[in-house]
């Protein structure tokens, strides 16, 4: 069946259509459909913040069925941070409701004259005034729309950071699940679209329910016996803090120092000892989001790996209570925590070096950091430099590019690539910019990676087999996103084998897909994304890391005296992809993949 698309022009109305059958055959759906649409239907000269830019939401064929871990969605656009295709990923249930309402893809274009939200109830599609929702945070917005449309309404929205046009504003699903990175919240804000609320229908019956159930049962039984799944099921991504500390991947003061404060080093144990409530997705055997109870009854999110690595180690915030408050404020305001911590740490260092005139942000100053976060959620008469993101901030402070934590304009996460060579390659090559979540490369943080990964695992700073394993992650992540299965279950937790994913795809589509077909789908998606970045983004053809993380070894800590051998890895990476020596997909490779260059 051809993918069903709802296109909403915020100035002219909406239309329903089906994408060509080739899209489902060659790209499956979800992220694959987004990549195809942006490559074929977004003019190359479209500015990211122009009304003509497309904001595309999609869920794969598993979404809306009885499959667990399939309710999330991908949103893609031309990113205001990079100029390339940018994606944000979110867990939850909104993607399932989109498909149950009758749509695989939602395309939003144009700019509303006044603030609106989109309400979808099957064939009933309406734009409604959002004036009363302006200024509300993401939790309050979701609650207000549930109160108006019923408890079975599922909402995505932007917070006040998206309204204030912070460059790295995020979309938040259901007041609980952050869609990050890439600045999709800014694009949604420039369109004056506050929220999308959906009332979905009944669960979708897949073509082969028995095969679906069998594959899910195998995955569930693996989760039940997995130590890794148990760790994630206790703390979410914060489970990896122990391993990150062990290999020296947490560094302080924007990566300048490898010695780590004890409070951050023992953060995993401290959070594990506290009582928590799960806010994982319904039915998932590996919950990965948790709240800490409070006296008011309102839960506070357990800080994830990136909150602790970014604000704790990188910015110097030692208090676990402060980190918890930061996690809550980022969620409510709709701010990508990775980009927020990177921007603040970068500003701290610029001020410390005298490159910035003021001294408002000192290392470890909790109140100053919280004040900065609140300002990002408030429209300023004169735009705050901090709201621009690191990629643009480095242009303001002359001489700062060597220590600006960004690649291709997108903020680097708090984990230090000098401790993890495969991670370094993932950051440098991701066409969306420097974020490991593109490939979901957690291999080096896992004690015992699964046997289905290619080649043998190697030490974090080793070069051996890193390229082939990273390419595998890129392609598998792309197929997970195209199929609509949670990348946290499939890659961060490594609980879904390629064979099981093939069975899930066949059961949900009615089409048998071979391992070679699945690999080609993943390769095709990755290749289109790279083509877009290298042809249309100013720095999309630059696969590199800033000087600090590539040429300046740490003097202390467990990752000391080492620089990742990026050039050696890039040569092998390009060769294995079948690209030329500059990293461009060749005409022959494009022909093999059926991509029109």
The predicted model gives 83-99 an average pLDDT of 97
User: Are 276 and 212 within 8 A, CB to CB?
Assistant: no
Q: What is the pLDDT of residue 133?
A: 98
Q: Are residues 224 and 339 in the same domain?
A: yes
The pLDDT value given to residue 252: 98
DSSP annotation of 308? I
Q: How far apart are CA 285 and CA 282, in angstroms?
A: 9
Least Cα distance to 75 among 154, 161, 3, 183 occurs for 183
Considering the domain architecture, whether residues 369 and 472 belong to the same structural domain is answered as no
Whether the Cβ atoms of residue 468 and residue 428 lie closer than 8 Å to each other? no
Neighbours of 530 (CB within 10 A): 24
- pLDDT above 90 for 73: yes
Structural domain includes residue 281: yes
Other Cβ atoms within 10 Å of 123 Cβ, number: 9
Q: What is the pLDDT of residue 536?
A: 85
480 and 509 co-located in one domain: yes
pLDDT at 457: 86
Based on the fold, state whether residues 188 and 213 are members of the same structural domain: no
| Same domain as 118, residue 55 | yes
Select from 180, 194, 185 the least CA-distant residue to 162. Answer: 185
Q: Is residue 409 part of a domain?
A: no
Domain boundary among 402, 437, 455: 402
Q: Of 354, 371, 402, which one is at a domain's C-terminal end? A: 402
pLDDT tens-digit profile of 48-59?
999 999 999 999
Q: Which of 86, 83, 70 is nearest to 34 (CA)?
A: 86
For residue 285, the model assigns a pLDDT of 96
The answer to the question of residue 204 being in a domain is no
Report which of 497, 493, 457, 498 is spatially closest to residue 226, judged by C-alpha positions: 493
Tens digits of per-residue pLDDT, 196-237? Answer: 999 988 999 999 999 999 999 999 999 999 999 999 999 999
What value does the mean pLDDT take over residues 135-140? Answer: 98
Kindly list the distances between the CA atom of residue 371 and the CA atoms of 64, 237, 319, 411, in Å, as whole numbers in the listed order.
40, 26, 16, 21
DSSP line for 137-167:
-HHHHHHHHHHHH-TT-EEEEE-HHHHTT-T
Question: Do 379 and 439 share a domain, yes or no?
Answer: no
| Of 24, 60, 61, 20, the residue nearest 41 (C-alpha) | 20
- Model confidence, pTM: 0.97
**Residue 274 belongs to domain with CATH number:** 1.10.569.10
Its sign, for the CA torsion 31, 429, 432, 435, is positive
| Domain harbouring 107, CATH code | 3.60.9.10
**Any idea what DSSP says for residue 46?**
-
Write the CB contacts of 292 (distance below 8 Å, at least 6 apart in sequence).
274, 275, 276, 277, 299, 300, 301, 302, 324
Q: Is residue 410 part of a domain?
A: no
Q: Give the pLDDT score at 15.
A: 86
Residue 44's domain comprises: 4-198
**Mean pLDDT, rounded, of the chain:** 95
Question: Which residues have CB under 8 Å from 539's CB, separation 6+?
Answer: 82, 83, 408, 409
514 and 541 in a single domain? The answer is yes
H/E element, 278: strand 277-278
Query: Which of 186, 189, 155, 187 lies closest to 172 in space, CA to CA?
Result: 155
Q: Tell me whether the omega of the peptide bond preceding residue 200 falls within 30 degrees of 0, making it cis.
A: no
The predicted pLDDT at position 538 comes to: 81
- DSSP, collapsed to helix, strand or coil, labels residue 168 as coil
The Cα–Cα gap between 94 and 63 comes to 9
Within this chain, do residues 50 and 78 fall inside the same structural domain, yes or no?
yes
Contact 441, 473 (CB under 8 A): yes
Largest CA distance in the chain: 65
Tell me how far apart the alpha carbons of residues 207 and 511 are, in angstroms, rounded to a whole number: 9
Edge-first strand order for the sheet with 154-158 is: 124-129, 116-121, 193-198, 154-158, 171-173, 177-179
| Both structure tokens of 408 | 């291709």
| Contact of 288 with 280, CB cutoff 8 Å | yes
Rounded Cα distance between 333 and 377, Å, is 6
- Interval 83-98 mean pLDDT: 97
Contacts for 548 with CB less than 8 Å, ≥ 6 apart? 255, 256, 402, 403
Q: Summarize the confidence of residues 354-379 as an average pLDDT.
A: 94
Total domains, the chain: 3
Res. 489: pLDDT tops 80 = yes
Does residue 299 have a pLDDT over 90?
A: no
Same domain, 463 and 549: yes
178-190: average pLDDT: 97
Average pLDDT over residues 341-347: 99
Q: Please give the DSSP secondary-structure letter assigned to residue 382.
A: S
Q: Which pLDDT belongs to residue 1?
A: 65
Indicate the SS3 state at residue 555: coil
Query: Can you say how many angstroms the Cα of residue 428 is from the centroid of all Cα atoms in its chain?
Result: 16
User: How far is C-alpha 429 from the geometric centre of its chain's CA atoms?
Assistant: 16
Per-residue model confidence (pLDDT) at position 296: 75
Residues of 294-309 as b/e, b for ≥16 C-beta within 10 angstroms? eeeeebbbbbbbbbbb
Residue 145 lies in a domain: yes
Do the domain assignments include residue 411?
A: no
Domain at 560, CATH number: 1.10.599.10
**HSE, side-chain direction, 13 A CA sphere, residue 376:** 36
Query: Given the DSSP bridges, would you call strands 105-109 and 4-9 parallel, antiparallel or unpaired?
Result: parallel
Indicate whether 329 pLDDT > 90: yes
Block residue for tokens 């699940």: 177
Q: Confirm whether 355 is domain-assigned.
A: yes
Tens digits of per-residue pLDDT, 146-173? 999 999 999 999 999 999 999 999 999 9
User: Do 187 and 265 have their domain in common?
Assistant: no
> Would you say residue 326 has pLDDT above 70?
yes
**In Å, what is the CA distance from 358 to each residue of 327, 348, 350, 373, 390?**
26, 10, 10, 17, 17
Question: Do 59 and 187 lie in a common domain?
Answer: yes
Residue 381, pLDDT > 80, answer no
Residues 226, 85: one domain? no
Q: What whole-number percentage of the chain has pLDDT above 70?
A: 99
CA angle 184, 187, 191 (to 5 degrees): 140
Count CB-CB contacts under 10 A for residue 83.
21
Query: Is residue 258 pLDDT above 70, yes or no?
Result: yes
Which residues 6+ apart lie within 8 Å of 519 measured at CB? 475
Please check whether residue 476 is in contact with residue 502, taking contact to mean a CB–CB distance below 8 angstroms. no
Which of 348, 374, 402 is the last residue in one of the domains? 402
Whether 530 is covered by a domain: the verdict is yes
pLDDT at 264 over 80: yes
- In this structure, of 141-150, 262-271, 396-405, 498-507, the range with the lowest mean pLDDT score is 262-271
Instruction: Tell me the C-alpha distance between 193 and 387, whole Å.
Output: 20
- Residue 14's pLDDT is 86
Contact (CB, 8 A) for 393 and 220: no
């Amino acid at each position: 069946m051809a993918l069903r698309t709802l296109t909403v022009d915020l100035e002219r109305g909406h239309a329903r259509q089906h994408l060509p059958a080739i899209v489902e055959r060659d790209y499956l759906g979800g992220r694959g459909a987004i990549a195809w649409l942006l490559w074929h239907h977004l003019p190359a000269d479209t500015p990211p913040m122009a009304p003509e830019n497309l904001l595309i939401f999609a869920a794969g064929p598993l979404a809306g069925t009885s499959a667990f871990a399939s309710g999330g969605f991908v949103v893609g656009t031309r990113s205001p941070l990079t100029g390339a295709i940018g994606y944000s990923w979110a867990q939850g249930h909104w993607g399932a409701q989109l498909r149950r309402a009758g749509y695989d893809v939602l395309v939003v274009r144009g700019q509303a004259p006044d603030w609106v939200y989109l309400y979808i109830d099957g064939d009933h599609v309406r734009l409604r005034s959002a004036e009363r929702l302006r200024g509300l945070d993401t939790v309050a917005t979701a609650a207000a729309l549930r109160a108006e449309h019923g408890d079975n309404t599922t909402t995505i929205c932007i917070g006040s950071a998206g309204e204030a046009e912070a460059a790295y504003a995020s979309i938040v699903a259901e007041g609980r699940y952050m869609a990050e990175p890439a600045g999709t919240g800014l694009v949604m804000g420039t369109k004056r679209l506050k929220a999308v609320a959906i009332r979905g229908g009944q669960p979708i019956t897949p073509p082969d329910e028995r095969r679906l159930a069998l594959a899910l049962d195998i995955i569930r039984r693996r989760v039940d016996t997995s130590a890794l799944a148990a760790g994630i099921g206790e703390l979410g991504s914060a489970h990896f803090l122990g391993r990150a500390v062990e290999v020296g991947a947490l560094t302080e003061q924007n990566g300048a120092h490898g010695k780590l404060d004890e409070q951050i080093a023992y953060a995993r144990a401290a959070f594990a000892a506290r009582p928590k409530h799960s806010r994982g997705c319904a039915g998932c055997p590996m919950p990965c989001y948790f709240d800490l109870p409070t006296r008011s009854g309102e839960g506070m999110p357990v800080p994830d790996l990136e909150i602790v690595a970014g604000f704790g180690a990188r910015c110097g915030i030692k208090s676990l209570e402060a980190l918890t408050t930061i996690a809550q404020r980022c969620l409510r305001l709709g701010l990508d925590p990775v980009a927020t911590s990177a921007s603040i740490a970068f500003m701290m260092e610029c001020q410390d070096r005298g490159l910035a005139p003021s001294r408002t942000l000192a290392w470890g100053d909790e109140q100053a950091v919280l004040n900065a976060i609140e300002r990002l959620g408030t429209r300023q008469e004169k735009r705050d430099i901090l709201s621009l993101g690191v990629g643009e901030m480095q242009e303001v402070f002359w001489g700062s590019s060597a220590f600006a934590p960004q690649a291709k304009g997108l903020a680097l996460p708090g984990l230090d690539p000098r401790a993890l060579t495969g991670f370094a390659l993932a950051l440098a090559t991701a066409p969306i910019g420097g974020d490991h979540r593109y490939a979901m490369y957690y291999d080096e943080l896992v004690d015992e990676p699964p046997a289905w990964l290619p080649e043998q695992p190697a030490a974090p700073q080793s070069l051996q087999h890193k390229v082939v394993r990273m390419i595998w992650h890129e392609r598998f992540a792309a197929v997970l996103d195209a199929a609509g299965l949670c990348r946290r279950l499939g890659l961060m937790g490594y609980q879904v084998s390629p064979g099981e994913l093939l069975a899930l795809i066949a059961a949900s589509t009615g089409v048998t897909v071979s391992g070679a077909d699945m690999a080609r789908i993943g390769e095709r998606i990755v290749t289109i994304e790279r083509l877009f970045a290298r042809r249309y983004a100013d720095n999309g053809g630059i696969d590199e890391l800033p000087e600090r993380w590539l040429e300046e070894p740490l003097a202390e800590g467990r990752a000391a005296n080492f620089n990742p051998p990026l050039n050696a890895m890039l040569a092998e990476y390009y060769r294995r992809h079948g690209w030329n020596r500059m990293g461009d997909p060749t005409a022959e490779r494009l022909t093999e993949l059926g991509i029109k260059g």
